[in-house]
A and B are shown apart, each in its own frame.
Chain A
């Protein structure tokens, strides 16, 4: 449980948000040409990092907008928040 600074609404309780999993997984450009292995990689395989992870969140009980977050999963500390389409911080 922590506070999240929604880029549109400001700081709110984490309860208002829904985690959307790993960020920056690119949708295949040519889905018809994907092999089964590539589909498995896209659909199921995850980095599931202990440490700094890039992920998507949705403010479901607020503005309902998606955004990205950089969070340390070993202590739930939020390092950065940026909007969809923006470049992830280095």
Chain B
């Protein structure tokens, strides 16, 4: 039985110096067979397992993770959550996730620190202005809150932005989604892990997948560093390593894996109470609850699995940040890191069945998967349990690269990819 987190449990455990908290999840050895195995213990994989158990009564399942849970891109992103995408299919997908975020802490009994502080996207040239206005209208037609702001309104909403007309890329306006914001990334992984574990899901860490066993056109199980696990359904949620797993099954995916960097500054007092993203100059910034500025940079343009990026990418981002926020000129950066993102040609994800029966892929989230974590898990669980996609992820199938029915969010999404 899982103890509930509450103010009373906090007081009770304080009395014993916080030494007797129940383990949030077990550390089981893999069983011989499961009804389904999820490959990848990041936010998306754990959420998938959670919703498989909760909504589809699949409790005899496992999540296998080669490192530790939440140690990949879940722990490496800039935690921005928004749903202001241009196309109907994307709007449906990301707003589904945003709606789940709004009640997630209560649902999981785990504080994911979801903070709807708003996300503002800036326009720096006339084409940006036209694109952002168009996106605002498209968002509102899809029931997503969005407003267009003038330069003065941008300044009012975030006073530290330099709106002077004589900077290299002047701020001509922006959009604001007030329901958007940030969440604590680690807590999302831990909350879903705790919830899934409570319903009987085995979370197996330090267990790397080495091969996928096929019998003709269907799967039979996976070879791992902890032995063979028999299963008829495999859901792969391996982010940057999706192609590696696909190659094991003899499948090719339309993905390229590239390093994406982020960095944080030394912690300072509250200075920016929203998230500001800038497509044209590729710089985005928010402030964590610890006080660090959280800054996202761009991807390198070559395939690499090194989890580190090029210095000039960070430099370019910081140049843009300094021009937009001169107040940060003497801030010191504390840490910088990279994650490997799997990018689709149309910059939209894949949540899909494959040509192999029982093998499902949830990948291609590229530079912006964190925001979709709860929705992605929910819809992927539906796809695995029913062997059919939900109507919200039907457009995000693998076959769109054959039919040509792409969901092209490259320039259309709120930030450059």
Contact = CB atoms under 8 A, between A and B. Distances in A.
B302 A55 contact: yes
B306 A15 contact: no
Contact of B312 (A15, A40, A45, A74): A15
Nearest to B258: A19
A56 B282 CA distance: 26
Contacts, number: 69
B12 to A, nearest CB: 47
Contacts of B303: 19, 21, 48-49, 53, 55, 73
A40 B304 CA distance: 23
Nearest to A38: B402
B243 A46 contact: yes
Interface size class of A (residues with CB under 8 A): 20 to 34
Interface string B341-352: 010010000000
Contacts of B244: 50
A36 B254 contact: no
A1 B300 CA distance: 9
Query: Chain A: interface secondary structure?
Result: mixed
Contacts of A48: 243, 253, 255-257, 303, 342
Interface in B226-260: 241, 243-244, 247, 252-257
A15 B402 CA distance: 34
B253 A45 contact: yes
B312 A46 contact: no
Contact of B401 (A15, A40, A49, A50): A40
25 contacts: A1-B310, A1-B311, A15-B312, A19-B300, A36-B402, A39-B402, A41-B252, A43-B345, A44-B345, A45-B401, A46-B243, A46-B252, A46-B255, A46-B256, A47-B247, A48-B255, A48-B342, A49-B303, A53-B303, A73-B303, A73-B304, A73-B305, A74-B305, A76-B304, A76-B306
Interface of B: 241, 243-244, 247, 252-257, 300-306, 309-312, 342, 345, 401-404
Interface of A: 1, 14-15, 18-19, 21, 36-37, 39-41, 43-50, 53, 55, 73-76
